[in-house]
């Protein structure tokens, strides 16, 4: 867990991404994790971790601000030597422009589009009754979120987000934004990928010619199955059910 230093509200870091990984995680797991000596060439000018967040979640969110991902690689030692796990920061590969999966690729693909989702979220923070913090967040036509209303009248769909544990207004807005992103209009893609070596965080594209929908999503799971000596790798993309 990434904790704030004593007497401070948040853990804030800056510098080369590899050096940050090492400084935050350090020797927390008895030397199981190691870090490259060379620079990642991914500079983090300043980043503030969420309070008491898990290391994986914190690193993932930090690196995403630089279009990068956490690379996890097992390094096998010599005979009778233990392996080690090297953590490093690397750029995300956006393969959606080079490789697009569709019915033409002979893969199983389905894209689900949800319309008429929530577009107005009333966020309730600390305080009681009239003194309670209240922030209104609105979905925009392009999918972004702001505090200016776009959908009105019959198009407006409103819900409430209750978080009286938010430390301040910024934390309330951050949590409300994540909640609205989950509940607003969305597209989800299910696909089966074969004969590709992808890593978690890489981005792939999909197109369903039957509906005309297309989108690109990052890989969020890589599952290796070995049965009777045969290896099979299964990938899951963000939002896949």
Measure the CA–CA gap between 155 and 140, rounded to whole angstroms: 12
Mean residue pLDDT across the chain = 84
Cα–Cα nearest to 34, from 82, 86, 78, 101: 86
pTM exceeding the 0.85 threshold for the entire prediction: no
Rounded mean pLDDT, 217-234: 84
Mind listing the pLDDT tens digit for each residue in 1-59?
999 999 999 999 999 999 999 999 987 887 788 999 999 999 999 999 998 999 999 99
> Where exactly are the structural domains of the chain?
12-91, 100-113+187-237, 116-184
Share of the chain above pLDDT 70, in %: 83
Cα–Cα nearest to 211, from 240, 189, 233: 189
Rounded mean pLDDT, 116-136: 92
Mind listing the pLDDT tens digit for each residue in 176-187?
999 998 888 766
Name 184's Cβ contacts closer than 8 Å, sequence gap at least 6. Answer: 117, 118, 119, 139, 143, 145
Instruction: Answer whether 179's CB lies under 8 Å from 119's CB.
Output: no
pLDDT for 106: 45
Question: Mean pLDDT: which of 19-33, 110-124, 226-240 is highest?
Answer: 19-33
Measure the CA–CA gap between 189 and 174, rounded to whole angstroms: 25
The strand pair at 203-208 and 100-101 is best described as parallel
Measure the CA–CA gap between 47 and 45, rounded to whole angstroms: 7
Mind listing the pLDDT tens digit for each residue in 69-108?
999 998 887 788 778 899 999 999 887 766 555 545 545 5
Mind listing the pLDDT tens digit for each residue in 146-199?
999 999 998 899 999 999 888 899 999 999 999 998 888 766 666 666 666 788
The token pair at 121 is 């979220």
Exposed (0-12), middle (13-18) or buried (19+): which is 64, by Cβ within 10 Å? Answer: middle
């Amino acid at each position: 867990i990434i904790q704030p230093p004593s007497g401070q509200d948040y853990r804030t870091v800056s510098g080369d991404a590899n050096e940050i990984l090492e400084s935050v995680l350090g020797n927390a797991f008895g030397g199981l994790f190691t870090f490259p000596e060379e620079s990642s060439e991914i500079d983090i000018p300043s980043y503030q971790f969420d309070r008491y967040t898990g290391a994986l979640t914190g690193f993932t969110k930090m690196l995403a601000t630089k279009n990068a991902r956490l690379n996890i690689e097992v390094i096998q030692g010599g005979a009778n030597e233990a392996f080690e796990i090297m953590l490093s920061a690397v750029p995300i590969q956006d393969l959606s422009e080079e490789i697009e999966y569709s019915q033409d690729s002979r893969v199983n693909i389905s894209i689900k589009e949800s319309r008429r989702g929530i577009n107005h979220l009333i966020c309730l923070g600390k305080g009681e009754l009239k003194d309670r913090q209240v922030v209104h967040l609105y979905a925009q036509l392009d999918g972004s979120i702001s505090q200016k209303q776009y959908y009105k009248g019959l198009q407006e769909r409103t819900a409430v987000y209750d978080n009286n544990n938010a430390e301040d207004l910024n934390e309330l807005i951050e949590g409300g934004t994540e909640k609205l992103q989950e509940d607003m209009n969305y597209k989800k893609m299910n696909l089966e990928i074969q004969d590709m070596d992808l890593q978690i965080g890489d981005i792939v594209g999909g197109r369903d010619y039957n509906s005309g929908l297309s989108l690109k999503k990052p890989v969020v799971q890589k599952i290796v199955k070995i049965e009777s000596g045969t290896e099979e790798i299964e990938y899951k993309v963000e939002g896949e059910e």
